[in-house]
Structure 1
Amino acid sequence: MTRQIVELHHVDTGGAGRPLVVLHGLFGSADNWRSHIKRWQESRRVIAVDLRNHGKSPHQSGMGYAAQAADVDALLDRLAIDSCDLLGHSMGGKVAITLARQSPERVARLIVADIAPIAYEHGHEAIFKAMRAVERQPPADRKEADRIMSGFVETPAIRQFLATNLIRGENATLIWRVGLDEIEDDYAHIVAVPDGSGAYTGPTLVLRGGRSDYVGDDVLPAVESVLPEARIETISDAGHWLHAEQPEAFQEALARFLTA
């Protein structure tokens, strides 16, 4: 079966040298990385990507990691990038692992933020319910959207994060810009293991949040089998969104790794 490649929207700061390519997590976008990009672009080219069904990228069925990695690979082709440093958070981390396994020559250094190459339990049911509720009753403003989502999602920070995906529709109410149908229909592939076979043996940094349970000590053998050169670092007092919760510590950890 022919794989449908999606032409991904991206933000490119320009500049010389090997770029840092950044892949967001589920329900994220390139916009989530703006403050970090401002710092990184002082010393290097940065390319922040909207993965399929996210941000300003097209909607397309199929959320499997081979398909998502192929989208990123095609973007690198269009930008004439032979080699990059690749950073992925959460779902984006699994896309990055897949690309690194399938095209190791394109990934000089790999950074995986708070995800392991394992299958996870389904854990976004409440989020899907909240987003569908907003879809059924399109709100006039973000305050109303937050009120609707609060019936399903207790944590304000998560509701605020989801709200970054709201845009004005034709009738002036707020609608989701993500491909919610495509994401929910293929959610089983999102929680599955990354695609590819064998190990990526290039320099790798795995960052995990001290308050996150995504990369516990129990899954480190799985990390080592797929990423045998991985250096594991824990950012204390950070959860799954470690780059947002502890931005300075996140920046410092990347700087140590990328300049070593």
Structure 2
Amino acid sequence: MRVLYRSSPSGDLALGVRVSGDDRHRPPVLLVHGMAGDHTTWRAFARALRREGRRVISVDLRGHGRSGHAQTYLLDDFRDDLEFVLDELDIDETDIVAHSLGGQTALRLAMDVPGRVRRLVLEEVPPMPRDQGHVDEGIVVAASLGERVRGVGAALRNPWPLIRFDRRVGVEVAPQFETPDPEWWARLDVIAASTLIISGGRRSFLPPRHLRTLSEALPDAVFTEIDAGHSVHRDKPAEFASAAGEFLQIS
């Protein structure tokens, strides 16, 4: 695990990054976890990518895992951290596989620097609310009982991501999804990356119809549904690896 240090007016921020595998002919695959996770959530999928000869970069978002706790947790802060990692590792173009909060972060990066993201796999990515009706659904913070039970099971098997997690992340991120942001939707058309959006189906607290609508708003996107709940890669790893792996192999 490498630690990169991003300078800021409030001091250096440590960002944990794991780089593995080697592929000189294709862009690396950047893996970005969701809230309260860390890079270890991708171990099985990272192994599968390396078996296919891909270079893999797994990051810990600020406030998670081996990365430092920060003074702010704006959605654009997470985006800027990812861009910093690409700069520090001298990566001009990448594929990204991202879950939940990581998916929102990856989308923002693809909006900001569209030429640097070739392919996107977005698992259970929460879209920004388009209007007040979307806000009123409370889809971002209202996890089902089943989701919470599965989350407890995962934490018992590997407690370190939850132990290292800065609880302020949730406190600061949630309100950002409580204001309609039509401009975010308007900017989706600048994204150049081919995109696969994976929904966890009816077992997830994110209604599949919202993710399908997001896929339709992107210039080049396909939608698929795997009935697993919010953490598809964790709870149905074979189905996730099949869908994501096939998409990433497309040249």
Deviation at 1:38, TM superposition (A): 1.3
Q: Distance in 1 between matches of 2:17 and 2:83?
A: 13
Deviation at 1:24, TM superposition (A): 0.3
Tell me, in whole angstroms, the C-alpha distance in 1 between the residues paired with 2:213 and 2:115: 25
Identify the match of residue 171 of structure 2 among 164, 184, 191. Answer: 184
Per-residue deviation at 1:202? Answer: 2.1
Unaligned runs of 5+ in 2: 1-7, 130-134
Could you say which residue in structure 1 is the equivalent of 2:151?
A: 158
Counterpart Cα distance in 1 of 2:235 and 2:147? 18
Matched, 1:216 2:216: no
| Cα contact 1:116–1:222 (8 A) shared by 2 | no
> What SS is found at the alignment partner of 1:9?
strand
Higher mean Cα deviation, 213-222 or 64-73? 213-222
Per the alignment, residue 249 of structure 1 pairs with 239
> Cα deviations across residues 220-248 of structure 1 (Å, max 9, x unaligned)?
334422x221100111x311111111111
- Structure 1 counterpart of 2:77: 67
TM-score normalised by structure 2 residue count: 0.78
- Render the CA deviation track for 1:109-162: whole Å, top value 9, x for unaligned: 1111012422362765899xxxxxxxxxxxxxxxxxxxxxxxx99944212334
String of CA shifts for 1:28-53, please: whole Å, max 9, x gaps.
Answer: 10011111111111221011110000
| 1:8 shift after superposition | 1.5
Aligned residue in 1 for 2:225: 234
Structure 1, unpaired ranges of 5+? 128-151, 168-174
Cross-structure match for 2:90: 80
1:19 aligned residue: 28
Asked if 2 retains the 8 angstrom alpha-carbon contact of 1:28 and 1:54, the reply is: yes
The equivalent of 1:148 in structure 2 is none
Q: Which of 123, 127, 141 matches 1:117?
A: 127
Q: Partners in 2 of 1:153 and 1:216 — Cα distance?
A: 17
Tell me the alpha carbon deviations over residues 147-179 of structure 1, each in whole angstroms, 9 at most, x when there is no partner.
xxxxx9994421233454448xxxxxxx93111
Partner of 1:31: 40
Task: Output the CA distance in 1 between the equivalents of 2:118 and 2:103.
Answer: 15
Q: How many angstroms does 1:198 deviate by? A: 4.2
Q: Indicate the larger mover: 212-221 or 104-113.
A: 212-221
Tell me, what secondary structure is at the counterpart of 1:63?
coil
CA positional deviation for 1:106: 0.9
TM-score with structure 1 setting the length: 0.76
Secondary structure in 2 aligned to 1:52?
Answer: coil
Report matched runs for 1:138-153 at 5 Å.
none
Q: CA deviation at 1:103?
A: 0.7
Query: Is it true that 1:92 corresponds to 2:98 in the alignment?
Result: no
- The alpha carbon displacement at 1:61 in A equals 2.3
- Alpha-carbon separation, structure 2, partners of 1:114 and 1:219: 8
C-alpha displacement of 1:180: 1.6
Bigger radius of gyration among the two: 1
Local SS of the residue matching 2:96: strand
Tell me the distance in 2 between the aligned counterparts of 1:70 and 1:153.
Answer: 33
Compare the two structures and name the one with the higher helix fraction: 2
Partner letter of residue 16 of structure 1? Answer: D
* Identical counterparts, % of pairs: 28
1:215 CA displacement? 4.3
SS at match of 1:239: coil
For residues 14 and 185 of structure 1, do their structure 2 counterparts lie closer, same or farther at Cα, with a shift above 3 Å needed? Answer: same
1:208 to partner: Cα distance: 1.0
| TM-aligned CA distance change 1:195 to 1:56, over 3 Å | farther
Q: Deviations over 1:63-89 (max 9, x none)?
A: 222111100100011100000001110
Report the RMSD for the aligned CA atoms in angstroms.
3.0
When residues 202 and 52 of structure 1 are mapped into structure 2, their CA distance, relative to the original with a 3 A threshold, is: same
